[in-house]
Structures are given as C-alpha cells and as structure tokens.
C-alpha cells in the first residue's frame, strides 16, 4: 500500500476482545473504544484535564471523512475538542457579508485590527464576494478569519480542516501556531489516505434527507427502511427520523471526476507533507488489503455494501455483504468504518505526545 514503508499497517484486532460491536450505535461505540484504546483514551483525558491542548491539521481529499472523524473524537472526549473548517469559515463569512447580516460589522472591525497582507482589506473583501474577477482570495484573509474562530473557543484542542489547501499555504501552516500566538501547543499534520475508488462510490451513491440534511449512501450506509418505486424501478432510502425519501445531490452521479482537479491538488499536498521536517505527521488509512484484513481488523470494523430485493408484499429486503474496492495501486482492499480509524488516531496522538 501507499506509504507502507514509512507507516506500517495499523492493527486494531486484539487478543481478548471478542465482543462483536455494532459501530452504528453510540453505546456500542463507547464500549468498543474502551476495549480497543481504553488506556490511551485515559491518558488523553488526563492530558486535557491538566489544561493541555494541541493543534491537528487535517489534510485529505474531499469526502475522506474529516468531519466524521472529528465528530467521533468529540464523542469520546467532549467539548475540549473544536473542529474548525476553513471552507465553512469562508462560506459563512461570505453569507454574512453578502446578506449584510448584523455580524458583518464585528467581523470587519476584527479584520481591520488583525489583517495583514499584500492586498488591501477592501480588495480582499471584494475577492471574497467575487466582485473582482482578477483577484484571488488571499490566504492572509483566510488565516485572519480562522484566527477569529479560534478566539471564540479559548483553551480547546483544535482540529483544523482545510489548512493548507494549496501548495503555497504549506509554509503558513508550518508556522501557524506561532503566527496566531497559540501558546506552545504541540501541532501535527494528520493526513488521511483514502483510495479514489472509495471516494467515487461515496459520491455516486450519496443521498440526503430533504428535511434534516442527514447524509446516507444507498450502497454503503443504508437506513433502516427502504422502499421500491414500481414506476421508475428504483430503490429509495427513507430517512430514519422523518421517514421521507432521501435524494441525491445534483452532480454526484459523476463521482470523483466532478472534483478531479481538487483531488489531484489534495494528493500533491499529502505527498509534500512527507518531505517536511519539524512537524510530526500522522497517517490515517481508510482501507486495508483484503488479503491482510483478517489478521489486522475484526469483520465488524469493515464497511459493508448493501443491496436490495423487493418482496411480493411490498417489503424491501436489505442484503448486507462485504464491500471491496481497488486502491490507487490496483490492490483489492476493504474500506474501514470510521471507529477503527479513530483508534489508530488516538494511539498515534498518545505516541507523538509521549504520554
């Protein structure tokens, strides 16, 4: 597998842990994490209880699961962890300025006090709003907006998603902790390695509830109830909460090809991280070779695939089976569910923090 020389495959299968956990249930996940990484979780909780924090920069391709992994870390450790998405920060600021919302004045005041860059602040805001086609949104403005978000959550561990985003932002991320005067916290790059074929199927079969926007996947993450439409000869997931048909997002049917330029850029960023000295790099793998899965992980830690069969009484049968895909080197792999990836993250953090 890619990077296997620098980062050997991580093993979550443990002697003495024989319970089969349902990782879709919060109660089972709690017992699972204690069984697989209880000692390390305890060490990290003590680290946080002593007032310590760290910064983790999440670097991965789109749809790699960054948000999901951070949510699980918060599920385990509580609100000592904060997820800051650079993309969300920029989009929210755009909306506030575009719609002239009350918060605009406070943001402008903050920018006037903190922003430094080669472009004037007025021009930078114009670039944010798309008023100037010949000016790109300056990284310095993004950094200042992220700094503002950090100021809202003092004394928390930060998982920063979307920095660096481009090659020219790597040097900023190397010194970001110092630039924002964020104490002397340890910082890490957390790179997520995920085969493109997995991203492709995550996108092609992705659906959301039109009411609550909860995401699911007709092939990889089924809901409890499915219905079959005789008219269009198609199966539909029903939202577990609202019991309405979940729908696909326009453009997702093209899969990864619709974001090819971005995924290529993200891969270049990840490759570049391996040449950096001075900042620890943690690698999380989303997949494991099929021929090694039995020895390294438990069956319930693997992502299943779902298919459907319409019964005569209108009831749809949901069929679960192992899901395999090809990684970027042409090796047949199983995709991992999020919890075992989190186990590897927790143990890697404890090692890097020397706890």
Give the highest mean pLDDT range of 136-140, 188-192, 256-260. Answer: 188-192
Of 219, 202, 305, 203, nearest to 253 by C-alpha is: 203
User: Residue 133 above 70 pLDDT?
Assistant: no
pLDDT score for 343: 97
Interatomic CA distance for residues 88 and 82, integer angstroms:
14
pLDDT score for 253: 78
Strand pairing class (287-289; 281-285): unpaired
The DSSP secondary-structure symbol of 205 reads T
Compute φ and ψ for 240, nearest 5 degrees.
-60, -35
pLDDT digits (tens, 9 = 90+) for 214-249: 888 899 888 889 999 888 889 999 998 899 999 988
Q: Say if residues 336 and 322 touch (Cβ distance below 8 Å).
A: no
Q: Say if residues 195 and 286 touch (Cβ distance below 8 Å).
A: yes
Inter-axis angle of helices 338-353 and 66-77, to 10 degrees? 70
User: Residue 11 above 70 pLDDT?
Assistant: yes
pLDDT score for 235: 92
Tell me the mean pLDDT in the region 155-165: 85
Q: First-to-last CA distance in the chain? A: 29
Full-model pTM:
0.86
């Amino acid at each position: 597998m890619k990077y296997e020389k620098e980062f050997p495959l991580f093993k979550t299968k443990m002697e003495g842990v024989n319970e089969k956990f349902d990782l879709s249930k919060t109660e089972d996940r709690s017992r699972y994490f204690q069984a697989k990484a209880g000692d390390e979780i305890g060490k990290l909780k003590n680290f946080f209880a002593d007032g310590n924090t760290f910064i983790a920069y999440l670097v991965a391709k789109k749809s790699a699961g960054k948000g999901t992994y951070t949510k699980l870390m918060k599920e385990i450790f509580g609100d000592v962890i904060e997820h800051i998405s650079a993309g969300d920060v920029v989009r929210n600021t755009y909306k506030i300025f575009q719609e002239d919302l009350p918060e605009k004045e406070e943001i402008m005041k903050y920018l006037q006090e903190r922003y430094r860059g080669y472009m004037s602040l007025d021009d930078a805001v114009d670039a944010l709003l798309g008023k100037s086609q010949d000016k790109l949104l300056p990284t310095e403005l993004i950094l200042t907006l992220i700094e503002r978000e950090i100021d809202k959550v003092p004394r928390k561990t930060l998982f920063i998603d979307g920095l660096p985003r481009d090659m020219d932002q790597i040097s900023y991320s190397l010194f970001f902790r110092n630039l924002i005067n964020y104490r002397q916290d340890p910082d890490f790059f957390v790179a997520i390695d995920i085969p493109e074929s997995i991203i492709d199927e995550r996108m092609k079969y992705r659906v959301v509830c039109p009411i609550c926007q909860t995401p699911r996947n007709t092939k990889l993450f089924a809901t409890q109830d499915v219905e079959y439409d005789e008219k269009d000869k198609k199966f539909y997931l029903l939202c577990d909460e609202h019991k309405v048909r979940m729908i696909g997002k326009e453009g997702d049917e093209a899969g990864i090809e619709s974001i090819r330029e971005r995924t290529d850029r993200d891969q270049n960023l990840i490759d570049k991280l391996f040449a950096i000295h001075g900042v620890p790099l943690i690698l999380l793998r989303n997949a494991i070779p099929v021929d090694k899965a039995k020895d390294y992980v438990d069956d319930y830690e693997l992502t299943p695939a779902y298919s459907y069969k319409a019964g005569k009484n209108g009831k749809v049968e949901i069929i679960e089976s192992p899901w395999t895909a090809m990684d970027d080197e042409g090796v047949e792999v199983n995709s991992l569910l999020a919890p075992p990836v989190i186990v590897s993250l927790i143990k890697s953090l404890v090692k890097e923090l020397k706890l």
